[in-house]
Structure 1
Amino acid sequence: MLVAFSVAPLGAGESVAEAVADAVAVVRESGLPNRTSAMFTEIEGEWEEVMDVVRRATDAVGRHGHRVSLVLKADIRPGHVGELDAKVERLERAIAERG
């Protein structure tokens, strides 16, 4: 299972960098394969472990404000692992084949 999520506090002021850093720390400490970009964090694992990490990351952000915004997208494909990198590799191959 791949999950891309974005979590941010509401009511915490203009910058949310510290709150997001707390969430990303939870993800990285989980030991699950992950990647963070400017707008989303992606994580890969089994349903229960991924959702537990998302919940804990959301809780960490919640300590920075009175409300939390969570956006989550999941790719649920049983029997497939390593897709965090494999999906990107397939895309890059397809683009290269066009050239």
Structure 2
Amino acid sequence: MIVAFSISPTAADDTGSVSEAVAAAVGVVKESGLPYELNSMFTNVEGDWDEVMAVVKRAVEVVAAVSPRVGLVLKADIRPGYDGQLTAKVERVERLLAD
């Protein structure tokens, strides 16, 4: 499964930035060892249901430690029996665009 998630702490620094809290959450994903990619809006992570949901939960907990309220947006592509889709899905589209 691939999960795209975004965590939004309600507490920000003096400039309104939430980068430190988001970096802490992404650190949890990185430490998990699961394949992931980071973009400006979401973090995408791939693994089995229990692995991915445990990482999302831990990332929320890390942000909740510095913010009294946390927002979570989560979208999942659940396709049993398929691995490596984090990159394979993009490669399939790019091949079609090259034709």
| TM-score where L is the length of structure 2 | 0.95
SS in 1 for 2:12: coil
Q: Which runs of 5+ in 1 are unaligned?
A: none
CA contact (8 A) 1:27 1:53 kept: yes
Runs of 4+ in 1 over 4 A off after TM superposition: none
Task: Measure, in 2, the Cα distance between the counterparts of 1:52 and 1:95.
Answer: 36
| TM-score where L is the length of structure 1 | 0.95
Q: Which runs of 5+ in 2 are unaligned?
A: none
Provide the alpha-carbon RMSD of the alignment.
0.8
Residue 29 of structure 1: aligned partner: 31
SS in 2 for 1:20: helix
Aligned ranges 1:1-80 → 2 under 5 Å: 1-13=1-13, 14-80=16-82
Residue 95 of structure 2: aligned partner: 93
Task: Measure, in 1, the Cα distance between the counterparts of 2:20 and 2:8.
Answer: 10
Identity rate, percent: 60
Q: How many residues align?
A: 97
The offset of 1:61, in angstroms, is 0.9
SS in 1 for 2:91: helix
